[in-house]
Structure 1
Amino acid sequence: MKKIMSFLILGCICGCVKEEAIPVVVDFEFEVFNDDFSVPVQIVFFNRTQGAEDYEWRFEGGSPSRSVNRNPGVIQYESQGTYEIELIGSNQDGSRDSKLIEIRIDEPVVIDFEINNLVDNFSPAVYTFTNTSTGATTYSWTFDEGTPPTSSERDPGEVVFVNPGEHQVMLEVSNGRETYDLQKTVTVAPLLLSDFGYQPAFEDDDYQVPVRIQFENNSISATSFQWSFTGAATSTTNDENPEIIFTDPGIQTITLTSSNGKDSKTTEKTIEVFANTNLRTFTDVRLGINTAHTSNTIGSFFSIADRETYTNNEINNEIGKTIDLVFFGLNEEFTRNRFVSPDRLSETTFEPLQNPKNTVFINSQELCNCIASLSAQEFDALQNDARLRDLTIEETPGGLQSFDNVEAPRVVLFQTQEGKKGAIKIKQFVRDGQNSYIIVDIKVQKESTNL
């Protein structure tokens, strides 16, 4: 009886229990690689759904576009736009749920701009900027020392820079989620400056008329030039670096006006030009004895045109053609000394020159037995070539005689192959063994007056 009652009670309990379906709650999260929403975009999805056994993903515009996996892996988007993403979850109990979201994929943000200089970069310099950026929706410009200093326009229009030097231009762009910046430099030329230097021609360094002068334009930020000269063969020119011949003695004025289309500056300088004495002077010239010359310590060969003394190893065929004066000192005792014509070196221990000049010398005025004479005092008094012009310089056996160092100063007269007359004043005999030498001053006509 008791067993029968137990079965009846159990049957009642079991008959009252109902089977309940498990609910599906769909949810998911996602992460954008590098937080970069500009195409190409890669997104990984994390399924947080509960109660589902089957899944269906739909990725509008994505690749792949659908998946039935619980976690679909990485989905890639190649085109800009707003796309739907939907996940549907279900189970065998018939429960079903879904979640739908939208995601915005942005156009790639590319930042760049072009700098356009209007007219030139002289102060005040005007620039415009062409914005070639793509994918951005807002713009922020900053112009270092510019007017205006900032702008939020896509293309900011004209910007003026006054101060010389480099100025930074910064552009910052954004699409609302990403921000990029780019910096470039504009350069404003230095302020206009007018200035010049000058250098006389080699043969005109005594500034005696006519004197040829090369001008060097040192102006800054200039594009055009206006020169004016007093006392010159050319009074005005627009050349940048003119060469001018001054013909009138006196203090001459040079004026340079430099311009660049926006500004002009003027500078003025003076040059003193002297009357032509037709006399060139060389002072403290050292001429070595024969051993000093051949050992290349102190040269014995002098070129009036080059204004140089040459040692043995410096003589070549071209230089040899220019030699006017050759000093031959026999020894350090200065017992026998004379100046020798370059075409008569066979009378010395020197090597002969190719195509040598002929120079007439009077080494010993006291033995010359000729009318030409010039004392040391008269040499010092020479201010022009008048005295030299009156001399008749002839070669005589007595005049070619050697001299010693007993008399100092001593004056040696000469006439070059071109007919230029001159005088050498031997001021000092310096004993230094095989490197002994004499110190001389030379005065010679710049141009011959008797040929």
Structure 2
Amino acid sequence: MNRKQIVFALTICLLNSCYQESRLLVNADFQAIIEDGNYTAPVKVKLTNNSTGADFYKWTFEGGTPSTSSDKTPSDITYSQIGTYKIVLEAWNGYERGEKEFTFTVDSAVTVSFDAEFRINDFAPAKVRIINRTEGASDFYWTFEGGIPETSADRNPGDVLFNKPGVHVISLVADNGREKFSLSKTIQLQDTIAVDFDVEASFDDFDYEIPFTANLVNKTTSGLTYEWTSTGGEITDKNAKNTSIHINTPGTYTVTLKGGNGNETKITSKKVTVKGNSNLYRMVNVKFGIKSAVDIVGSFYSLKNREIVTQNNVTESNGENINLVFFGINSSFEGCHFTSPDLARDAGFKLIPNATKTYFVNNIETSGLSFTRDNFDTMTNDSLLKSLDIKSASNTTSSFSAEQGFRIVLFEAADGRKGAIKVKAFVLEQINSSYILTDIKFQKTKAE
């Protein structure tokens, strides 16, 4: 080889060596970040291109939007459907090519929802049906605060029993394999049924004597249906919430109430003892005020209403029901007497509208009648009163005083009913408040 050939060969070799050293290697690399770490559809993927030595890029986003890109760093990619997807990056220059793949899974979107429905009603104990309406989850974990069962891993746990009233929390945690989603709801149960009632004698039958009528007052809580029974007597409406009972025969009876609300039924009973008819009312510690206390203590008494009536409460409608009028001249209790309502004005009281006539024996000692303190105290029926001719022996104008002490006053009302008043004490109080303290026994109805 001549000198020129050798020089040419060396030049070609040097040029080729320089070319090999300047050629760039391609390293395809990128980072894919799932936005917020949320793998539940829709998923957004943020890309960072870390490739080196490349001049050109081709991205392929299987199932994504967009599906391809030639940008070095594409904008975020969105995946709306569940599945496993592959992101592929191809990077190259004029001499080399590189490639990288990234595979990930988009989980199903989870919507947590359920209903808690009372099977019958919300009175404890109550069964609650759990209806799972969750979508997109594969696993479930339930907790039922205060329930039976307390937990469940079933998709549909069915009925849960809650025995106690109050607020209970029902919680569901739903899992799609990667993430957990939760929802809680509260239910409130009313109190359990408590069956109770009162026997309230009618106004005329407060002494529990036949014929006897009483109201059966239902005090049950959390009840919906009722059934009344009795070992005797007649119940007006056996299935009403409140009813009444009428008894015509003396004795002891058991009244029973069964209450229910669909979830529970309970029963309670009470004894009612009814006595024979004495035809005699017994009133104790009745106060009759002196003349100056007529509007404070009251000096009038109604047998029908069994109460004292003050003068300022006398009206056209209640005047005819006033039967006893007491006159006490002052707090020294001199010249006291009972007088007829139709003579009230003569005693210095205001006129009583529609006043009736009552006959009094203020002084039995001068009347010819015999009726002692022992007679009054031991009188358990009206037999003694029936035999007294009070009307013929009446001495309305006769009087008595505190000095005479204890006194019995007999009376006969316009409707023929007879009675006796026992004056037990003459009580001196502050001005315009002095009174006599009495017990009264009188017939319920006129004796035949």
For normalisation by structure 1, the TM-score amounts to 0.78
Amino acid at match of 1:272: T
Q: Which residue of 2 aligns with 1:446?
A: 444
Displacement after TM superposition at 1:348 (Å): 4.8
Quick one: distance in 1 between partners of 2:76 and 2:318? 86
Q: Deviations over 1:214-254 (max 9, x none)?
A: 23456677766554433424599455544111211122333
- Pairing partner for 2:28 from 21, 26, 29: 26
2:403 and 2:384 map into 1 onto residues whose CA distance is 26
Which residue in the other structure is 1:332 paired with? Answer: 331
Indicate if the aligned counterparts of 2:174 and 2:180 stay in contact, CA closer than 8 A: yes
Matches of 2:71 and 2:105, distance apart in 1 = 24
**Could you report, residue by residue, the CA deviation over 1:305-340 in whole angstroms, capped at 9, with x for unpaired residues?**
333334456556655554333333222112233334
Instruction: Return the offset for 1:342.
Output: 3.9
Tell me the equivalent position of 2:3: none
Judged with a 3 Å threshold, the aligned counterparts in structure 2 of structure 1 residues 333 and 68 are, in CA distance, closer, same or farther, namely farther
Residue aligning to 2:363:
365
Contact 2:110 2:134 in 1 (8 A): yes
The alpha carbon displacement at 1:207 in A equals 0.6
Give the match for residue 251 of structure 1: 252
The more displaced of 229-238 and 135-144 is 229-238
Q: Deviations over 1:103-137 (max 9, x none)?
A: 43333312222335556788986554321111101
Is 1:272 equivalent to 2:273 in the alignment?
yes
2:157 is matched by which residue type in structure 1?
P
Cα distance in structure 1, aligned partners of 2:125 and 2:68? 62
**3-state SS, counterpart of residue 375 of structure 2:** helix
Query: Cα 1:431–1:144, aligned 2, differ >3 Å: closer, same or farther?
Result: closer
| 1:83–1:335 Cα change, 3 Å | same
List aligned pairs for 1:7-22, cutoff 5 A: 15=15, 16-18=17-19, 20-22=22-24
- Offset at 1:18? 1.1
| CA distance, structure 1, for counterparts of residue 78 and residue 307 of structure 2 | 84
The equivalent residue for 1:38 is 40
Distance 1:154 1:373, change over 3 A: same
- 1:410 shift after superposition: 1.6
Structure 1 residue aligned with 2:53: 51
- Residue type of the alignment partner of 2:331: E
CA contact (8 A) 1:360 1:393 kept: no
1:151-190 → structure 2 map (5 Å cutoff): 151-157=152-158, 161=161, 163-165=163-165, 169-184=170-185
Deviations 1:25-51 (A, max 9, x none): 333323334333334444433333333
**Which shifted more, 377-386 or 436-445?**
377-386
Q: Which residue of 1 aligns with 2:379?
A: 382
Taking a change above 3 Å as real, the CA distance of residues 438 and 34 of structure 1, as seen in their structure-2 partners, is farther
Distance 1:402 1:365, change over 3 A: closer
Query: Which residue is equivalent to 2:291?
Result: 290
CA contact (8 A) 2:359 2:394 kept: no
Distance 1:272 1:182 in 2: 59
* Conservation of the 8 A alpha-carbon contact between 1:39 and 1:80: yes
1:386 corresponds to which letter in structure 2? S
CA distance in 2, matches of 1:340, 1:445: 19
Structure 2 CA distance for aligned equivalents of residues 24 and 173 of structure 1: 46
Do the aligned partners of 2:259 and 2:265 also contact (CA within 8 Å) in 1?
yes
Counterpart of 1:281 in 2: which secondary structure?
strand
Cα separation, 2, equivalents of 1:47 and 1:120: 63
Given the two structures, how large is their TM-score scaled by the length of structure 2?
0.79
Q: Is the 8 A contact 2:28 2:99 kept in 1?
A: yes
Distance in 1 between the 2:399 and 2:135 partners? 95
Structure 2 gaps, min length 5: 1-6
CA separation of 1:356/1:22 partners in 2, compared to 1, >3 Å: closer, same or farther? farther
Say which is worse superposed, 68-77 or 217-226, in terms of deviation. 217-226
Q: 3-state SS of the aligned residue for 2:204? A: helix
Partner of 1:346: 345
* Equivalent pair of 1:122/1:189 in contact (CA under 8 Å): yes
The 5-angstrom pairing of residues 49-128 of structure 1 reads: 49-53=51-55, 55=57, 57-59=59-61, 62=64, 70-91=72-93, 93=94, 95-118=96-119, 128=129
Q: Which moved more, 1:13-22 or 1:257-266?
A: 257-266
Q: Which amino acid aligns with 1:44?
A: K
Q: Deviations over 1:181-203 (max 9, x none)?
A: 34456788878776544222222
Change (3 A) 1:54 1:419: farther
Q: What secondary structure does 2:440 align onto?
A: strand
Q: Counterparts of 2:87 and 2:116 in 1: how far apart (Å)?
A: 43
| Cα distance, 1:359–1:37 mapped onto 2, change above 3 Å | farther
Cα gap change, 1:12 to 1:74, in 2 (>3 Å): closer
Cα distance change, pair 72–338 in 1 and its aligned pair in 2 (3 A): farther
SS in 2 for 1:17: helix
CA-atom RMSD, angstroms? 4.1
The equivalent of 1:138 in structure 2 is 139
The residue aligned with 2:423 is 426
Query: Is the Cα contact below 8 Å between 1:85 and 1:102 reproduced in 2?
Result: yes
Q: Distance in 1 between matches of 2:37 and 2:313?
A: 78
Q: Secondary structure of the residue that 2:293 maps to in structure 1? A: helix
Give the CA deviation at 1:263. 7.8
Identical-residue share of aligned pairs (%): 33
Q: Which moved more, 1:128-137 or 1:303-312?
A: 303-312
Q: How many residues align?
A: 437
Moved more, 170-179 or 222-231: 222-231
- SS at 2:404's partner residue? coil
For 1:79 and 1:320, how far apart are their aligned partners in 2? 92
Question: Is residue 228–residue 235 contact of structure 1 (8 Å, CA) maintained in 2?
Answer: no
Cα shift readout 1:73-111 (whole Å, capped 9, x = no counterpart):
5444555455444444445x4544444434433333122
- How has the CA–CA distance of structure 1 residues 204 and 366 changed in structure 2, closer, same or farther, with 3 Å as cutoff? closer
What's the CA shift for 1:208?
A: 0.3
Pairs within 5 Å for 1:401-440: 401-434=398-431, 435-440=433-438
Which residue of 2 is the match for residue 306 of structure 1? 305
Tell me how far apart the structure 1 counterparts of residues 53 and 412 of structure 2 sit (CA, whole Å).
126
Alpha-carbon distance between aligned partners in 2 of 1:88 and 1:315, rounded to the nearest angstrom: 111
Residue 211 of structure 2 corresponds to: 210
**Partners of 2:361 and 2:390 within 8 A in 1:** no
Q: Find the aligned partners of 1:311 and 1:76 in 2 and give their Cα distance.
A: 92
Equivalent in the alignment of 2:4: none
- Superposition deviation, residue 72 in structure 1: 3.9
Give the direction of change, closer, same or farther, for the CA distance of 1:422–1:65 in structure 2 (3 Å limit). Answer: farther
242-251 or 195-204, which moves further after superposition?
195-204
Change (3 A) 1:129 1:401: same
